[in-house]
Structure 1
Amino acid sequence: MPMHKAPSLSKLAWQLACALVLTTALAAQALACTTTIVGKKASADGSVMVSHSDDGLNDARLVYVPAKDHAPGSMRPVYYSHCSLDFKPQWGGTVSHRIVDGGRAPAYATGPRPGMSGDPRSVPLGFIPQVAHTYAYFDANYGIMNEHQLSIGECTDKAKVDAEPEPGKRIFYSAELSRVALERCKTAREAVKLMGELIEKYGYYGTGETLLVADPNEGWVMEMCAYDKDGTSGVWVAQRVPDDQFFVAANQFRIRDVRKGASDMMFSANIFKVAQEKGWWKPADGPLDWTKVYGDGEYHHPYYSLRRVWRAQSLVAPSRKLSPWAEDAFTRSYPFSIKPDQKLDVKDIFAIHRDNYEGTEFDLTKGLAAGPFGDPGRFEGGAEGLANKEGQLSDVKGEFERPLNIYRCVYAYVNQSRSWLPAAIGGVTWFGPDRPATAVLMPFYAGALDLPRAIQTSDILKLDRGSMWTAFNYVANQAQIKYQYMIKDIRTLRDKHEARFFGTQKAIEETALSLWKKGDQNAARLLLTERSNLFAANVLADWWELSEQLYIRYNDGYFNTPDNIAQPVFYPAWWLKQVGYEQGPTTYAKPVKK
């Protein structure tokens, strides 16, 4: 029998299994992301912080979009967002490149050029009138931060309706909404209102979404979804996060009662009417519960979202002693926002994203599933692994815990917006490529003149030594071989770099501020840009060197040093007992089956 042939599976059953695997893989792109806001009175330095982990294996680039002036009558193209309902080739781009349009940003110029092949150019779903001037910003699968330190985070949510894109009817998803907001707005309130207007005028497609929108003074949670597969609009709601509080969302709507006339809320004009027409709510039910009325619970399995919300809130406010167990997906046990026990800084927030439930009853570094060396990674299921010899799908049921730090994360970041500094200096994106636990946070300032090529280069289908994401993803995959050993080496180098970045932050910013006050703003921007570029170059070189060191140090399962090679690193006794080591061939007698 040829090695590639599926044994004992009918062709139809095998095709079914493969189709289900593909469906699972594509769905995983949408089941992604954890995002947080820290109010200015909840942060250690008075900044407003937004964080986001983009948990789907797709385009990992952090792209610099320059400021531009536009001629009167110009139109802005609105592109399909791969992160909405996965890659659709009719709208251009590729599975690993979200936008192909050099007019949007130089790093997006990956399309055909004279005498060269390239990615298929992005095809607009539609156009909106362009404004005279658009601001510079950092872009990824969603917009991140602009030159005025307007900051955005995101997570995907399960809504009752997911509509397909359609030109002339539904052309906006949260990704392009976030970019338009960063191009045109300076404040969070302004951005929320603009995105709401765009939803109502041009229509919304894709999954439910949470966008966190913040400026140096306040943070807002904006949630949105489609309500009709053939509709020409959408619904949305926004709620302000109190200045002294922390907010977290994890793939489920988090806004509850919609309160008319409340100064800390905004919402679409149709929010009550649509709910009544669809039969999802009536005034006699009491306040409209946005999460319950327009949401559809958690993705995938119970606690897929709630466990992360519980963990994040428990880490910032352990005194609350929140229970990890809830009555159902629509529990109110975890408040909209929570006051932290102690004020939070960037490292505190990224520690949340790096968490694998260590020290709790859900600790993913423990138990048989973690293997002998404590790997917290839990690969999500595929049908081919559950097909029996008759070609039927297995009835094995179960789930692993979904951690904050997940193996398929492509990047994570913490944005700082600081009111007491010029926006160019006050806004910082602390960016970590690939999964948070093995990433290094690197600072990039809102006033940067560009970003390093290594940060703007990535293709998940190529091994590129000039790509920062590739370097980090490569090392993270290596670490799965002997995690509890390799993670120590990774943390040592990670902490060294982060200590230098945080340790020199004050001095660099003081120098930039001095230049700014003297009127040499370009010199200040250049200083910040060059310093970030130098940091990134050092990290890239060190990370590839680390990959080589890990290969040598743990080659063939041993521990190797210049003084002593092939030092045994055997399996722990508890694991040996559970995997049947004691039933191995220890005598010449045939084992007696029990």
Structure 2
Amino acid sequence: MKRILSVIIAVSVLLAAYPVFACTTTLTGKKASADGSVMVSHSDDGLGDGRLIYVPAMDHKKGSMRPVYYDACALGYKPEWGASETQRLVTKERGPGYDTPGVPLSVPIGYIPQVEHTYAYFDANYGIMNEHQLSIGECTDKAKVEPEPAPGKRIFYSSELSRVALERCKKAKDAVKLMGALIDKYGYYGTGETLLVADPEEGWVFEMCGYDAEGTGGVWVAKRVPDDSFFVAANQFRIREVKKGARDMMFSADIFDIAKKKGWWNPSDGPLDWAKVYGDGEFHHPYYSLRRVWRAQSLVAPSKNLPAWVEGAFTKKYPFAVKPDQKLSVEDVFRIHRDNYEGTEFDLTKGLAAGPFNDPNRFEGRAESVAGSEEPLSTVKGAFERPLNIYRCVYAYVNQSRKWLPDAVGGLTWFGPDRPATAVLMPFYAGVNNLPEPIQKGDILKFEKDSMWTAFNYVANYAMLKYGFMIKDIHAVRDHFEMQSFGRQKQLEQNAAELIDDKRDAEARKLLTGYCEDNADNVLKAWWKLSEDLYIKYNDGYLNTSAGIAQSVFYPAWWLKKVGYENGPLTYKRNSGEK
């Protein structure tokens, strides 16, 4: 009996300490982008399911019901809801990509009425983009209350909300209204969340959370991003004052009444501050969120000279959105996600923690990577800076929605598997008939040569052996493919658009699908070849090339001094510092 009780306790502790998808997401308005597109980006920063899945358009029988599934992103994997720790969703109802033999079927937490036709879209841990250029990004936030799922009371989390929106909506504003209505009617569970929702004309920030551990419903607020501005969120609510009658805002009808009832806000306090009233500050420790907001805004608008140090979690030093000093490209936006604070006082490629070879990766030792548990993993209290580029990222992307092109061509997801700094941006058009098989395959507990995620994760991990050297080799291959994609983009899109103008839609989709598949296939082959080249070139800590085998690559002097290299053994006498 004691053994059984011990197992139950151990399992309970394990499930309580759930992995967090602590992400960074940005939105660039059409007048802030270099080409007039509305851009949404997202890095999914939790070691989980890294697949990009194609969900086809479908027709449904009148009166049928749509299942709503539990999302492990919300509160961790729960076996009672099916699927697995590495495969987020298992069902035949959303196309071949989610039909995974040998994995338990996902169990619906509830149902909503289905519509007769649903749109095709790209899906990952959250919905990404549909065939009508509706685009979504996400980050997790800390809310005062984070309820458990409950059939009939709380059936929606942001992941399934984003998918329903992509299945049914063409415009960002309509998607916000739909998701808000679903929260109001069917309830909300899990962490606080930010979803960025955009179409070719505009972008909205949609934030939500639960408010009662046992009750139903949820609360939400949305704010439009100015067309000439750039927005960033990093695991903390970013909407502040909720203003009645504001044309650039939407919110749940009971947002004020609930705040008063809970004792979180009184009208005499002034306008309801959403982040303060319903949020619970930064995700883990000071600057876990704010440093990334500061860095992203500083990179796009350095002229603002934003302060790196502020008075507290609810500072107003960082505006809701900033106007970039120069209009932003896809490369500019993804460069933000690749950042390790290089060139700042927080530069993670410098110092003893970076080791002798400038490794910016900092493994988390307390509760940064695990929510629901504050149990320390070390007796040493402290924290590293939390970068925009983090080692446990499973994918990142930049979406473009472009009004001057047909939807099939104008909607474009630039997808990078694994962490941004070592990923290649690969283009996938909204009008493709399917996605390449390697991008739809991946399991963090399996080594799969035909998985794009495995290839990129393998190289990224190997690079940590001698990061400052290997990253240059990685970037050389990365830059080749990205420059090639950007260089071919204009002609490809012109050809596809002309086919659509000639009413040859099927040919255009075939053209786009073939291009994306060929590019992905070439990237996968090149990345495994890169892994072999890195192994040979840096074998046994040397530099091995045709110019010479076992060329010595020694440690830098500053690092040798820091780690006590000078303390010997240089003589046969005991050093004064040794015991």
* TM superposition score normalised by structure 1: 0.93
Moved more, 98-107 or 536-545: 98-107
Counterparts of 2:15 and 2:561, CA distance in 1: 37
The question of 1:312 aligning with 2:303 is answered no
Counterparts of 1:163 and 1:419, CA distance in 2: 39
The question of 1:528 aligning with 2:519 is answered no
* Gap regions ≥5 residues in structure 1: 1-10, 112-117, 384-390
User: What's 2:93 paired with?
Assistant: 103
Q: CA deviation at 1:21?
A: 9.6
Q: 1:331 aligns with which of 301, 315, 319?
A: 315
Render the CA deviation track for 1:514-551: whole Å, top value 9, x for unaligned. Answer: 11111101100110110010000000000000000000
1:558-573 alignment, distance < 5 Å: 558-573=542-557
User: What's 1:33 paired with?
Assistant: 23
SS at match of 2:439: coil
Q: CA deviation at 1:425?
A: 0.5
Q: 4+ residue stretches of structure 1 with deviation over 4 A?
A: 17-24, 391-394
Q: CA deviation at 1:119?
A: 0.3
User: What's 1:77 paired with?
Assistant: 67
The question of 1:297 aligning with 2:288 is answered no
Counterparts of 1:394 and 1:464, CA distance in 2: 34
Render the CA deviation track for 1:23-61: whole Å, top value 9, x for unaligned. Answer: 79x44424x100000000000000000000000000000
Amino acid at match of 1:107: G
Counterparts of 2:379 and 2:457, CA distance in 1: 33
User: What's 1:7 paired with?
Assistant: none
The question of 1:464 aligning with 2:448 is answered yes
SS at match of 2:413: strand
Query: 1:145, 1:446 within 8 Å by CA — same for their partners in 2?
Result: yes
Render the CA deviation track for 1:383-439: whole Å, top value 9, x for unaligned. Answer: 9xxxxxxx9975411100000000000000000000011111000000000000000
1:243-258 alignment, distance < 5 Å: 243-258=227-242
Amino acid at match of 2:336: I
Structure 1 vs Structure 2: percent identity of aligned residues? 71
1:427-576 alignment, distance < 5 Å: 427-576=411-560
Q: 2:244 aligns with which of 257, 260, 279?
A: 260
Moved more, 185-194 or 583-592: 583-592
Counterparts of 1:18 and 1:366, CA distance in 2: 39
Query: 2:19, 2:76 within 8 Å by CA — same for their partners in 1?
Result: no
Counterparts of 1:382 and 1:393, CA distance in 2: 5
* TM superposition score normalised by structure 2: 0.96
Render the CA deviation track for 1:275-303: whole Å, top value 9, x for unaligned. Answer: 00000001000000000000000111100
Cα RMSD for the two superposed structures:
1.9
Change (3 A) 1:181 1:392: closer
Q: 1:93 aligns with which of 83, 92, 95?
A: 83
The question of 1:188 aligning with 2:188 is answered no
Q: 1:67 aligns with which of 57, 61, 85?
A: 57
Counterparts of 1:133 and 1:491, CA distance in 2: 43
1:253-292 alignment, distance < 5 Å: 253-292=237-276
Counterparts of 2:438 and 2:305, CA distance in 1: 43
Q: 2:226 aligns with which of 235, 242, 247?
A: 242
Render the CA deviation track for 1:451-499: whole Å, top value 9, x for unaligned. Answer: 0000000000000000000000000001000000000000000000000
Q: CA deviation at 1:105?
A: 1.9
Query: 1:515, 1:524 within 8 Å by CA — same for their partners in 2?
Result: yes
Render the CA deviation track for 1:79-108: whole Å, top value 9, x for unaligned. Answer: 000100010000000000000002212111
The question of 1:42 aligning with 2:32 is answered yes
Aligned pair count? 567
Q: CA deviation at 1:73?
A: 1.1
Render the CA deviation track for 1:489-512: whole Å, top value 9, x for unaligned. Answer: 000000000000000000000000
SS at match of 2:153: coil
* Gap regions ≥5 residues in structure 2: 368-374
Query: 1:147, 1:423 within 8 Å by CA — same for their partners in 2?
Result: yes
Change (3 A) 1:545 1:394: closer
Q: 2:203 aligns with which of 219, 230, 244?
A: 219
Counterparts of 2:18 and 2:561, CA distance in 1: 37
SS at match of 1:500: helix
1:111-126 alignment, distance < 5 Å: 111=101, 118-126=102-110
Counterparts of 1:67 and 1:79, CA distance in 2: 19
Counterparts of 2:391 and 2:108, CA distance in 1: 32
Q: 2:152 aligns with which of 140, 144, 168?
A: 168
Query: 1:374, 1:484 within 8 Å by CA — same for their partners in 2?
Result: yes
SS at match of 1:560: strand
Q: CA deviation at 1:316?
A: 0.1
Counterparts of 1:497 and 1:341, CA distance in 2: 28
